[in-house]
Amino acid sequence: MPVEISREIQDFLAGWQDDPLNARDAFTNYLSFLQGQPGVTLEFKARPGISYSVRARHAAQQGRELFVLVDVVDDEPEIRWLSVCFYADMITDPEEKGDFVPSGLMGEDAACFNLDEDDPAMRDYISTRIAEAATAAGATSRTGS
């Protein structure tokens, strides 16, 4: 059963008009994918002027609050961009497009990917990482988390 998008997320998306980087489309595509994943719940945190964050968690996860953090960076609301972060041990980065961030996600090592330009290849690359993390989060015997 798909996860419902909260009224807060709907209101945020309705108010997001300026989008020269096509980040809104990427964000809604990532949300749609996450909505369709069995066992996944979404949490939204709005910090206007800083970021709007969606945290996705799988019911099978133990000891971790999420498997992906999708941030809409709001330091310049007319040019919002995305930062998508994962626990470093939950994904691969074969093209080394991410940034390794020691203790960067809930105190654990992270891999973060920025979508800060209109780049369809990067949008797809991040989508693949989200799918990879969702699979890992649902396989507790593999991740141990």
Q: Say if residue 100's pLDDT is above 80.
A: yes
Q: Is residue 133 part of a domain?
A: yes
User: Does some domain include residue 145?
Assistant: no
Domain total in the chain: 1
DSSP label at 69?
Answer: E
Domain assignment of residue 75, given as a range: 7-138
Cβ neighbours, 10 Å, residue 109 = 14
Q: Which token pair is 137?
A: 């989060």
Task: Determine the Cα–Cα distance for residues 10 and 4; give it in Å rounded to an integer.
Answer: 10
- Largest alpha-carbon pair distance within the chain? 43
- Give the pLDDT mean for 84-105: 97
pLDDT at 2 over 80: no
* For residue 46, pLDDT beyond 50: yes
Inside any domain, residue 61: yes
* Domain assignment of residue 11, yes or no: yes
Domain membership flag for residue 104:
yes
Task: Give the domain CATH number at 24.
Answer: 3.90.1150
1 part of a folded domain: no
Q: Please compute the mean of the pLDDT values over residues 20-40 and round it to a whole number.
A: 95
In a domain, 34, yes or no: yes
In a domain, 144, yes or no: no
